[in-house]
Each structure stands twice: as structure tokens, then as C-alpha cells.
Structure 1
């Protein structure tokens, strides 16, 4: 083989190895920032045969269990239960909740699994429309009736 061809082959081989290593390092670095979506049942029973591990970052979606919201009088800490079709999961959150957050409402929380059925949330999102639901959650929630909270304040909107 011609020495010039050997040199080109070595250069192309080196480039392929370096690009492969760079892609591998990027995927490894991004692995921690991937948020997998779970429902409360999938956290307790597992998803595709695998349960999430304590310390794993994830997103969870479900309905806030009526009567489960507990607020700390000293701080912005809130604890509530989420459910879908089966077991419930406890979510703890420190911060200001969205205006649409209430019992019986569908929410999506992003956080870290701190126990087998406990999540420390960094972000809580409430759905903005009675009809909209994320597709993954809609499949899991088929057959569950939406429960409206009894103590929802009624506002007079005629003057607006």
C-alpha cells in the first residue's frame, strides 16, 4: 500500500474514533438530565419491568387526591398525594404552586424520587384546560372520573 494512502487511512480512522468518543461522552453527560415520565402506578409497580431507583430524576403525572394537600404555615412547603388508577405517591414541594393547582386537578411534577413512593419536586405544573391531558397520562387514566373539589370558590365574572 502506498505510504500516502496509509497516512490518509490513519487520519480518517483517527477522526472516526474521535467523533465516536465525543458522541459517547455527550450521551454520558446528558444521561443525568433525562426526565422519564411516570404515573404513580408505574413508580410503585414498575414500568416495563423496571422500577425507578431512589435518587432518579423523573416526571410524574396524576390527579391530586382530594383532602391530601397539607401546607406548612411557616414556609411555602406543600405535601400532597397523587393518584392515577391504583396506588398513590406522596409529593413534597417547596415553592409557589400554580394558580390552577387544587385538589382533584391533574398535575405534572418534575423532581427526584426520595423513597419508594415519595418524590421531592422542583417544579409543579397544573393542566390549563379541563379537556387536555398528556397522552401518556390519558391512557393510564381511562375510566377514572374527574372529581371536582367541593370548596372551589365561585367568582362573579359578569363585570369583566
Structure 2
């Protein structure tokens, strides 16, 4: 049996390392597909609704006059708008102190089989000048300029 030369050994080792890294990348991408939350504005959802159960991040403004707290006060119903389309949202849990009508919000959750967006997490802006960049871009894309600095 012939002994491989050092140059051939390095080549085999390098190819094996590339194959292992490629396999790890493929496995990681499949694993992250189920946990990745894609940002969408209400107009994006109206144009192409996500599948029920698919986790997304919905962003826009809390539409004025739409916040209600039926029942025990822990459940919250409101509408997220990007001035082109609206999405009804239901959330159960503690609401961020800065959550209010007319302000930017990002809700992480999914649509149920009936088409209701069930938020599991709410993020609200943290001061008067801040709006999440994703929300600002979505609003500007829809023709509503935002004065965020």
C-alpha cells in the first residue's frame, strides 16, 4: 500500500473540512427556518398572507381608537396599520408601558386558522423620537414619511 504524500494529505484534509462546513451550514439553515421571524407590514400581509402558524414580526402604527381590553384586562385587541392596510391583533399578557395609540409597535406572533394575528410579544418605541427602523421603512415604503431621527 502506497503512503500518501504530504501535499495529498493536506488536500484531502482541506476537502473534508469544506464538506463538514457545508453540511453544518445546511443543517443550520434548516433549523433556523422554523424559528426565524420575518418582518412584515400590514400591506405586505394583505398582498401575500403568511401561512397559519408561521412566526412573523408585524410592524406599523397602533391605529388610533382601536385599542380595547375585553374581559379580565389582560387581553388586548388593537389594529396595526401602515396607512395602506390594517391588521387586527390580539395579545394576552403584560403590555409595555410605552404602548399607546398612534405609536410604533412590533408584534411577534402568528396567524391562527381563522386569520387572527395572535401576538406573543409586543415591542413599543422607547422615546418620542424613536421608531423601530423596520416600522419606519415600511411606512415610508407605503408613502407615509416618518420623521424619525
User: What's the TM-score, normalizing by structure 1?
Assistant: 0.74
**Which residue matches 1:89?**
87
Residue among 133, 136, 139 paired with 2:134: 136
Deviates more, 1:75-84 or 1:107-116: 107-116
Considering only aligned residues, what root-mean-square deviation do their CA atoms show, in Å?
2.6
Give the direction of change, closer, same or farther, for the CA distance of 1:127–1:117 in structure 2 (3 Å limit).
Answer: farther
Corresponding residue for 1:37?
39
Q: Report the counterpart of residue 118 of structure 1 in structure 2.
A: 116
Counterpart Cα distance in 2 of 1:11 and 1:72: 64
The superposition leaves residues 90-112 of structure 1 with CA deviations (integer Å, 9 ceiling, x where unpaired) of 11111010111122221111111
In the alignment, structure 1 segments of 5+ residues that lack a partner are: 147-160
Show CA shifts across 1:42-85 (max 9, x none).
11113xxxx42222111111111122112122251111111012
Deviates more, 1:107-116 or 1:136-145: 136-145
**1:16 pairs with 2:13:** no
Match of 1:4 in 2: 4
Question: What residue is the counterpart of 1:103 in the other structure?
Answer: 101
CA distance in 1, matches of 2:57, 2:103: 17
TM-score by length of 2: 0.78
Give, in whole Å, the separation in 2 of the partners of 1:18 and 1:88.
Answer: 46
Judge conservation of contact 2:105–2:135 (CA < 8 Å) in 1: no
Give the Cα–Cα distance (whole angstroms) in 2 for the partners of residues 144 and 31 of structure 1.
Answer: 31
Aligned positions, number: 141
Gaps of 5+ in 2: none
